[in-house]
Amino acid sequence: MRQKEISLNILPIKSIDEEDLDHPISSHDTPLREDAFELSDNEKIEKIEDHFREIMNVLGLDLTDDSLKGTPRRVAKMFVLEAFSGLNPANRPSTRLFENKYNYDQMLVEKNITFFSHCEHHFVPIYGKVHVAYFSSGKVIGLSKINRFVQYFAKRPQVQERLTVQIGKELERVLNTPDVGVVIDANHMCVASRGVGDTNSKTGTAFFSGKFKDENVKREFLNYINTK
């Protein structure tokens, strides 16, 4: 089956612009308590292991079984060190910028960045593709760093709207440019594997700032995304 092209006309929510950021539903800060990092990673793993073991006990699982007895520890390590490692600011990717020696003044696009995240409402996977573009303000960044920023913000409990804004605002900050575009096309397992059980629908979100608010520039970006 031919994959549906990404177009603003099919995005189920509006694109997210600067003036939207003060609205509570589009706040781009992940909700965290002030004491979120008082415990070390190892202490968090120990506590989560205990709590998840209790969850499995409540579900009636036999934790003496060889296949299950190590699960609480595995889940705890996965939560802290992998799936939600982006909650810890210590894991924020370092930034190294380079002079734009080629005087390249056109749009730079990196598309089809694969990401895996978790819905903060049910803690089940969100996964899909992120497409990023920017105009250099005199500096450029290694392409792999863009991927790392995407993964950093994806590796936390998320809603797709917030993830879109976080990536966009971070690229504005690290690149010192007001001209950033981000489009995310994602599958939500909270829709596919539970509730309505729809395995075909996808969700699209977009962040546009600076030059990307111009319809011609926006269209050029979307054409790059849809070009095989």
- Spot the catalytic one: 18, 46, 110, 190: 190
Active-site hit among 160, 161, 166, 172 = 160
160 a catalytic residue:
yes
Beta strands in 69-193 (DSSP E): 97-99, 108-119, 125-134, 139-141, 157-158, 180-188
Q: Which of 18, 46, 122, 220 is catalytic?
A: 122
Q: Which of 46, 110, 120, 220 is catalytic?
A: 120
The rounded distance, in Å, linking the Cα atoms of 169 and 90 is 18
- 166 phi and psi angles, rounded to 5 deg: -60, -45
Catalytic annotation present for 118: no
In three-state secondary structure terms, 172 is helix
Q: Known catalytic residue: 119? A: yes
Q: 28, 118, 131, 188: which one is catalytic?
A: 188
How open is the CA angle 196-199-203, to the nearest 5 degrees? 90
| Radius of gyration, CA atoms only, the chain | 20
Query: Which position among 18, 46, 119, 220 bears the catalytic label?
Result: 119
Q: How far apart are CA 125 and CA 158, in angstroms?
A: 10
Examine the residue annotation and report whether 122 is marked as an active-site residue of this protein.
yes
Active-site residue, 158 included: no
Choice among 5, 54, 82, 121 that is catalytic: 121
Q: Is 190 one of the catalytic residues?
A: yes
* Residues forming the active site: 119-122, 160, 188, 190
